[in-house]
Amino acid sequence: TSTTSSHVPGPVPTVIPTPTEYQTLGETGHRTLWVTFALMVLSSGIFALMSWNVPTSKRLFHVITTLITVVASLSYFAMATGHATTFNCSTAWDHHKHVPDTSHQVCRQVFWGRYVDWALTTPLLLLELCLLAGVDGAHTLMAIVADVIMVLCGLFAALGEGGNTAQKWGWYTIGCFSYLFVIWHVALHGSRTVTAKGRGVSRLFTGLAVFALLLWTAYPIIWGIAGGARRTNVDTEIMIYTVLDLLAKPVFGFWLLLSHRAMPETNIDLAGYWSHGLATEG
Ligand code: RET
Write down the pLDDT at residue 278.
65
Domain ranges for the chain, please list them: 18-262
| Ligand 1 pocket, residue 153 CB under 6 Å | yes
Q: How confident is the model at residue 2 (pLDDT cuts 50, 70, 90)?
A: very low
Q: Is 1 exposed, middle or buried (0-12, 13-18, 19+ CB in 10 A)?
A: exposed
Worst-scoring range by mean pLDDT, 13-17, 71-75, 188-192, 222-226?
A: 13-17
114 CB near ligand 1 (under 6 Å): no
* Closest protein CA for atom 6 of ligand 1: 220
* Residue-level pLDDT at 95: 81
Domain 18-262 fold is Rhopdopsin 7-helix transmembrane proteins (1.20.1070)
Confidence of residue 271 (pLDDT cuts 50, 70, 90): low
Per residue in 4-52, pLDDT tens? 455 666 777 677 777 999 999 999 999 999 999 999 999 999 999 999 9
What secondary structure letter does DSSP report for 229?
A: T
Q: Kindly report the protein residue whose alpha carbon is nearest to atom 2 of ligand 1.
A: 154
Per-residue model confidence (pLDDT) at position 277: 67
Mutational test site, ligand 1, from 179, 210, 242, 251, max ligand atoms within 8 Å of CB? 179
Cβ–ligand 1 contact at 158 (below 6 Å): no
Looking at residue 58, its pLDDT comes to: 85
Q: What is the pLDDT of residue 1?
A: 47
pLDDT of 142 over the 90 cut: yes
pLDDT of res. 258: 96
> How many angstroms from the chain centroid is the CA of residue 137?
23
pLDDT band at 162 (very low <50, low <70, confident <90, very high): confident
- The mean-pLDDT minimum among 11-20, 85-94, 213-222 falls in 11-20
Residue 174's pLDDT band (boundaries 50, 70, 90)? very high
Atom of ligand 1 nearest to the CA of 216: 20
DSSP per-residue string spanning 82-95: T-S-EEEEEEEEET
Q: Distance from the CA of 92 to the center of ligand 1, in angstroms?
A: 26
DSSP state of 12: P
Torsions phi, psi for 21 (to 5 deg): -100, 120
C-beta 47 within 6 A of ligand 1: no
